[in-house]
Protein backbone atom coordinates (compact mmCIF):
# COMPACT_ATOMS: atom_id res chain seq x y z
CA UNK A 1 0.00 0.00 0.00
CA UNK A 2 2.83 2.39 0.91
CA UNK A 3 4.57 1.71 -2.40
CA UNK A 4 1.36 2.42 -4.31
CA UNK A 5 1.01 5.70 -2.42
CA UNK A 6 4.63 6.57 -3.25
CA UNK A 7 4.04 5.79 -6.92
CA UNK A 8 0.92 7.96 -7.02
CA UNK A 9 2.63 10.90 -5.30
CA UNK A 10 5.64 10.64 -7.63
CA UNK A 11 3.45 10.36 -10.73
CA UNK A 12 1.43 13.42 -9.66
CA UNK A 13 4.60 15.46 -9.10
CA UNK A 14 6.11 14.37 -12.42
CA UNK A 15 2.87 15.25 -14.21
CA UNK A 16 2.80 18.74 -12.69
CA UNK A 17 6.48 19.38 -13.41
CA UNK A 18 6.11 18.13 -16.98
CA UNK A 19 3.06 20.32 -17.59
CA UNK A 20 4.57 23.46 -16.10
CA UNK A 21 7.85 23.03 -18.00
CA UNK A 22 5.94 23.56 -21.24
CA UNK A 23 5.51 27.26 -20.42
CA UNK A 24 8.26 29.95 -20.50
CA UNK A 25 10.68 29.97 -17.57
CA UNK A 26 9.49 33.06 -15.69
CA UNK A 27 5.84 32.02 -15.91
CA UNK A 28 6.82 28.46 -14.99
CA UNK A 29 8.52 29.60 -11.78
CA UNK A 30 5.57 31.77 -10.76
CA UNK A 31 2.97 29.10 -11.58
CA UNK A 32 4.71 26.35 -9.64
CA UNK A 33 5.23 28.71 -6.72
CA UNK A 34 1.49 29.46 -6.67
CA UNK A 35 0.57 25.76 -6.97
CA UNK A 36 2.82 24.87 -4.06
CA UNK A 37 1.69 27.73 -1.85
CA UNK A 38 -2.04 27.43 -2.47
CA UNK A 39 -2.58 23.75 -3.34
CA UNK A 40 0.23 21.37 -2.42
CA UNK A 41 1.42 22.89 0.86
CA UNK A 42 -2.04 23.23 2.45
CA UNK A 43 -3.01 19.67 1.46
CA UNK A 44 0.29 18.28 2.80
CA UNK A 45 -0.05 20.12 6.10
CA UNK A 46 3.03 22.28 5.50
CA UNK A 47 1.24 25.57 6.22
CA UNK A 48 0.05 24.26 9.59
CA UNK A 49 3.56 23.03 10.41
CA UNK A 50 5.06 26.39 9.43
CA UNK A 51 2.62 28.26 11.67
CA UNK A 52 3.53 26.03 14.64
CA UNK A 53 7.25 26.64 14.13
CA UNK A 54 6.80 30.38 13.70
CA UNK A 55 4.70 30.68 16.84
CA UNK A 56 7.22 28.59 18.77
CA UNK A 57 9.96 31.09 17.89
CA UNK A 58 7.80 34.21 17.78
CA UNK A 59 5.01 33.55 20.33
CA UNK A 60 3.68 37.11 20.00
CA UNK A 61 3.16 36.77 16.24
CA UNK A 62 -0.57 36.73 15.38
CA UNK A 63 -1.70 33.48 13.80
CA UNK A 64 -2.89 35.25 10.64
CA UNK A 65 0.56 36.80 10.17
CA UNK A 66 2.26 33.45 10.79
CA UNK A 67 -0.02 31.77 8.26
CA UNK A 68 0.68 34.42 5.62
CA UNK A 69 4.42 34.06 6.22
CA UNK A 70 4.23 30.25 6.04
CA UNK A 71 2.43 30.54 2.71
CA UNK A 72 5.17 32.81 1.31
CA UNK A 73 7.70 30.21 2.47
CA UNK A 74 5.78 27.49 0.61
CA UNK A 75 5.64 29.65 -2.53
CA UNK A 76 9.41 30.15 -2.37
CA UNK A 77 9.86 26.39 -1.95
CA UNK A 78 7.69 25.72 -5.00
CA UNK A 79 9.69 28.18 -7.07
CA UNK A 80 12.90 26.54 -5.86
CA UNK A 81 11.65 23.07 -6.84
CA UNK A 82 10.77 23.97 -10.44
CA UNK A 83 13.95 26.07 -10.85
CA UNK A 84 16.01 23.02 -9.94
CA UNK A 85 14.19 21.03 -12.63
CA UNK A 86 15.06 23.81 -15.12
CA UNK A 87 18.85 23.51 -15.07
CA UNK A 88 19.72 25.42 -18.23
CA UNK A 89 17.45 28.38 -17.52
CA UNK A 90 18.50 28.64 -13.87
CA UNK A 91 22.17 28.50 -14.82
CA UNK A 92 21.66 31.29 -17.36
CA UNK A 93 19.74 33.46 -14.87
CA UNK A 94 22.58 33.11 -12.37
CA UNK A 95 25.09 34.43 -14.90
CA UNK A 96 23.34 37.80 -14.51
CA UNK A 97 22.88 37.72 -10.73
CA UNK A 98 24.87 39.32 -7.95
CA UNK A 99 27.51 36.96 -6.54
CA UNK A 100 29.76 38.62 -3.99
CA UNK A 101 30.86 38.81 -0.38
CA UNK A 102 34.12 38.99 1.57
CA UNK A 103 34.58 35.22 1.44
CA UNK A 104 34.71 35.03 -2.36
CA UNK A 105 38.40 35.95 -2.44
CA UNK A 106 39.15 33.38 0.29
CA UNK A 107 37.26 30.76 -1.71
CA UNK A 108 39.31 31.33 -4.87
CA UNK A 109 42.60 31.56 -2.95
CA UNK A 110 42.01 28.24 -1.18
CA UNK A 111 41.29 26.41 -4.43
CA UNK A 112 44.32 27.99 -6.11
CA UNK A 113 46.43 26.54 -3.29
CA UNK A 114 44.90 23.08 -3.75
CA UNK A 115 43.00 23.36 -0.48
CA UNK A 116 39.50 21.93 -0.28
CA UNK A 117 36.49 24.10 0.53
CA UNK A 118 33.61 22.94 2.71
CA UNK A 119 30.67 25.21 1.88
CA UNK A 120 27.90 25.31 4.48
CA UNK A 121 24.47 26.81 4.08
CA UNK A 122 20.83 26.43 5.07
CA UNK A 123 17.45 26.04 3.41
CA UNK A 124 17.29 29.72 2.52
CA UNK A 125 16.17 31.24 -0.80
CA UNK A 126 16.91 28.72 -3.52
CA UNK A 127 19.69 26.96 -1.64
CA UNK A 128 20.80 25.06 -4.78
CA UNK A 129 21.76 28.30 -6.51
CA UNK A 130 25.01 28.47 -4.53
CA UNK A 131 26.10 25.21 -6.15
CA UNK A 132 25.03 26.36 -9.61
CA UNK A 133 26.83 29.69 -9.16
CA UNK A 134 30.04 27.95 -8.10
CA UNK A 135 29.71 25.51 -11.00
CA UNK A 136 29.34 28.47 -13.37
CA UNK A 137 32.72 29.67 -12.09
CA UNK A 138 34.23 26.39 -13.29
CA UNK A 139 34.29 24.42 -10.03
CA UNK A 140 32.28 21.16 -9.78
CA UNK A 141 30.54 20.91 -6.41
CA UNK A 142 29.84 17.70 -4.51
CA UNK A 143 26.70 17.55 -2.36
CA UNK A 144 25.75 15.40 0.61
CA UNK A 145 22.02 14.81 0.74
CA UNK A 146 19.40 12.98 2.76
CA UNK A 147 17.49 10.57 0.46
CA UNK A 148 13.80 11.35 0.13
CA UNK A 149 11.41 8.92 1.82
CA UNK A 150 9.65 8.29 -1.49
CA UNK A 151 12.06 6.03 -3.47
CA UNK A 152 10.53 6.93 -6.84
CA UNK A 153 10.82 10.65 -6.20
CA UNK A 154 14.35 10.17 -4.81
CA UNK A 155 15.56 8.56 -8.04
CA UNK A 156 14.87 11.61 -10.21
CA UNK A 157 15.61 14.05 -7.36
CA UNK A 158 19.19 12.71 -7.20
CA UNK A 159 19.57 12.77 -10.99
CA UNK A 160 18.32 16.35 -11.13
CA UNK A 161 20.61 17.45 -8.31
CA UNK A 162 23.70 15.90 -9.94
CA UNK A 163 22.83 17.37 -13.33
CA UNK A 164 22.90 20.84 -11.77
CA UNK A 165 26.46 20.90 -10.55
CA UNK A 166 28.27 17.66 -9.78
CA UNK A 167 28.22 14.43 -7.76
CA UNK A 168 25.65 13.83 -5.05
CA UNK A 169 26.41 11.46 -2.18
CA UNK A 170 23.74 10.09 0.16
CA UNK A 171 24.29 10.11 3.91
CA UNK A 172 25.14 6.42 4.12
CA UNK A 173 28.63 5.24 5.10
CA UNK A 174 29.93 4.93 1.52
CA UNK A 175 28.48 8.27 0.50
CA UNK A 176 30.04 10.05 3.46
CA UNK A 177 33.47 8.52 2.78
CA UNK A 178 33.34 9.56 -0.88
CA UNK A 179 32.22 13.06 0.12
CA UNK A 180 35.18 13.43 2.51
CA UNK A 181 37.64 12.15 -0.11
CA UNK A 182 36.36 14.77 -2.56
CA UNK A 183 37.22 17.54 -0.09
CA UNK A 184 40.56 15.94 0.84
CA UNK A 185 41.61 16.05 -2.79
CA UNK A 186 41.09 19.83 -2.91
CA UNK A 187 37.53 19.86 -4.23
CA UNK A 188 34.50 21.94 -3.36
CA UNK A 189 31.71 20.33 -1.37
CA UNK A 190 28.45 21.82 -0.10
CA UNK A 191 26.15 20.80 2.72
CA UNK A 192 22.94 22.17 4.20
CA UNK A 193 23.41 21.73 7.94
CA UNK A 194 20.04 22.97 9.22
CA UNK A 195 18.20 19.65 9.15
CA UNK A 196 16.98 17.98 12.35
CA UNK A 197 19.85 15.57 13.10
CA UNK A 198 18.54 13.73 16.17
CA UNK A 199 21.62 11.55 16.71
CA UNK A 200 23.65 14.65 17.60
CA UNK A 201 23.54 17.17 20.41
CA UNK A 202 21.55 20.38 20.49
CA UNK A 203 22.70 23.81 19.36
CA UNK A 204 20.65 26.86 20.26
CA UNK A 205 18.81 28.21 17.22
CA UNK A 206 16.44 31.13 17.75
CA UNK A 207 16.63 30.54 21.49
CA UNK A 208 15.56 26.90 21.31
CA UNK A 209 17.70 23.74 21.27
CA UNK A 210 17.89 22.17 17.83
CA UNK A 211 19.70 18.86 17.15
CA UNK A 212 22.53 19.79 14.77
CA UNK A 213 25.21 17.76 13.03
CA UNK A 214 28.82 18.96 13.55
CA UNK A 215 29.81 17.01 10.43
CA UNK A 216 30.80 20.00 8.21
CA UNK A 217 33.08 21.34 10.96
CA UNK A 218 34.56 17.88 11.56
CA UNK A 219 35.31 17.46 7.84
CA UNK A 220 36.94 20.87 7.74
CA UNK A 221 39.14 20.05 10.73
CA UNK A 222 40.00 16.56 9.44
CA UNK A 223 40.94 17.67 5.92
CA UNK A 224 42.19 21.21 6.61
CA UNK A 225 39.49 22.56 4.28
CA UNK A 226 38.19 26.10 4.41
CA UNK A 227 34.82 26.23 6.21
CA UNK A 228 32.84 28.80 4.27
CA UNK A 229 29.23 29.89 4.86
CA UNK A 230 27.47 30.85 1.63
CA UNK A 231 23.84 32.03 1.61
CA UNK A 232 21.34 32.58 -1.20
CA UNK A 233 18.50 35.08 -1.33
CA UNK A 234 15.67 35.41 -3.82
CA UNK A 235 15.34 38.94 -5.22
CA UNK A 236 12.12 40.93 -5.10
CA UNK A 237 11.26 40.07 -8.71
CA UNK A 238 10.98 36.41 -7.64
CA UNK A 239 13.25 35.24 -10.47
CA UNK A 240 16.77 36.49 -9.79
CA UNK A 241 19.01 35.57 -6.88
CA UNK A 242 21.92 36.86 -4.84
CA UNK A 243 24.69 34.55 -3.61
CA UNK A 244 26.72 35.88 -0.70
CA UNK A 245 30.07 34.42 0.37
CA UNK A 246 30.61 35.22 4.05
CA UNK A 247 33.97 35.32 5.81
CA UNK A 248 35.33 31.83 6.56
CA UNK A 249 34.82 30.30 10.00
CA UNK A 250 38.15 29.92 11.79
CA UNK A 251 39.23 26.43 12.83
CA UNK A 252 38.74 25.83 16.56
CA UNK A 253 36.61 22.98 17.86
CA UNK A 254 33.82 21.25 15.97
CA UNK A 255 31.32 22.35 18.63
CA UNK A 256 32.26 26.04 18.48
CA UNK A 257 32.44 26.04 14.67
CA UNK A 258 28.96 24.48 14.53
CA UNK A 259 27.61 27.13 16.90
CA UNK A 260 29.11 29.84 14.70
CA UNK A 261 27.55 28.28 11.58
CA UNK A 262 24.20 28.36 13.36
CA UNK A 263 24.62 31.99 14.44
CA UNK A 264 25.42 32.98 10.87
CA UNK A 265 22.32 31.21 9.55
CA UNK A 266 20.06 32.71 12.21
CA UNK A 267 21.20 36.20 11.24
CA UNK A 268 20.31 35.47 7.61
CA UNK A 269 16.88 34.05 8.48
CA UNK A 270 16.10 37.17 10.52
CA UNK A 271 16.86 39.25 7.40
CA UNK A 272 14.82 37.02 5.06
CA UNK A 273 12.22 35.24 7.24
CA UNK A 274 9.94 34.33 4.33
CA UNK A 275 12.77 32.56 2.49
CA UNK A 276 13.77 30.00 5.13
CA UNK A 277 12.05 26.60 5.29
CA UNK A 278 9.90 27.05 8.40
CA UNK A 279 7.75 24.20 7.11
CA UNK A 280 10.31 21.50 8.01
CA UNK A 281 10.82 19.82 11.40
CA UNK A 282 13.81 21.80 12.68
CA UNK A 283 12.90 21.62 16.38
CA UNK A 284 10.59 18.61 16.35
CA UNK A 285 7.18 18.29 17.97
CA UNK A 286 6.45 19.45 21.52
CA UNK A 287 6.63 15.82 22.67
CA UNK A 288 9.98 15.24 20.94
CA UNK A 289 11.41 18.43 22.45
CA UNK A 290 10.31 17.33 25.92
CA UNK A 291 11.86 13.87 25.44
CA UNK A 292 15.20 15.35 24.37
CA UNK A 293 15.15 17.73 27.33
CA UNK A 294 14.48 14.84 29.71
CA UNK A 295 17.33 12.76 28.24
CA UNK A 296 19.65 15.76 28.49
CA UNK A 297 18.88 16.13 32.20
CA UNK A 298 19.47 12.43 32.81
CA UNK A 299 22.84 12.64 31.08
CA distance 217 to 59: 32
What is the pLDDT averaged over residues 94-111? 96
CA distance 164 to 160: 6
What is the pLDDT averaged over residues 213-232? 97
CA atoms within 13 A on the CB side of 276: 21
Give per-residue pLDDT as tens, 10-25.
Answer: 676 777 777 777 899 9
Report the predicted TM-score, pTM, of the whole model to 2 decimal places.
Answer: 0.88
**Total domains in the fold of the chain:** 1
Look at residue 51 and tell me whether its pLDDT is greater than 50.
yes
Q: Out of 116-120, 165-169, 243-247, which region has the weakest mean confidence (pLDDT)?
A: 165-169
Domain that holds residue 192: 2-298
Q: Out of 159-163, 168-172, 185-189, which region has the weakest mean confidence (pLDDT)?
A: 159-163
**Burial class of residue 105 in the structure, from the number of CB atoms within 10 Å of its CB (0-12 exposed, 13-18 middle, 19+ buried):** exposed
What was the pLDDT predicted at 21?
77
What was the pLDDT predicted at 22?
83
Q: Who wins on pLDDT, 176 or 150?
A: 176
Give per-residue pLDDT as tens, 73-85.
Answer: 999 999 999 998 8
Q: Who wins on pLDDT, 275 or 198?
A: 275
- Rounded to the nearest integer, the mean pLDDT of the chain is 89
Q: Would you give the DSSP letter of residue 285?
A: -
What is the pLDDT averaged over residues 45-61? 96
Provide CB contacts within 8 A for 168, sequence distance 6+.
142, 143, 144, 145, 158, 161, 162
Confidence label for 1 from pLDDT (cuts 50, 70 and 90): very low
Q: Who wins on pLDDT, 262 or 22?
A: 262
Q: Who wins on pLDDT, 13 or 213?
A: 213
Look at residue 158 and tell me whether its pLDDT is greater than 60.
no
CA distance 282 to 274: 16
What is the pLDDT averaged over residues 55-69? 97
Amino acid sequence: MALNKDRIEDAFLRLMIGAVKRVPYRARVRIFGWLTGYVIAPLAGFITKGVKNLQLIFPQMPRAEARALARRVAINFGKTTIENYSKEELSEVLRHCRIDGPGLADFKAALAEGRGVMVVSGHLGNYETLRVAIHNMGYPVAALYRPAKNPYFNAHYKTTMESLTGPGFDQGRRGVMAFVRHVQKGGVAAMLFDVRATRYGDVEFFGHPAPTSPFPAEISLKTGALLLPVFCHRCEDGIHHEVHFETPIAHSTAAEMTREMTRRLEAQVRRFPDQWLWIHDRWGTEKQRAQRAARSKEA
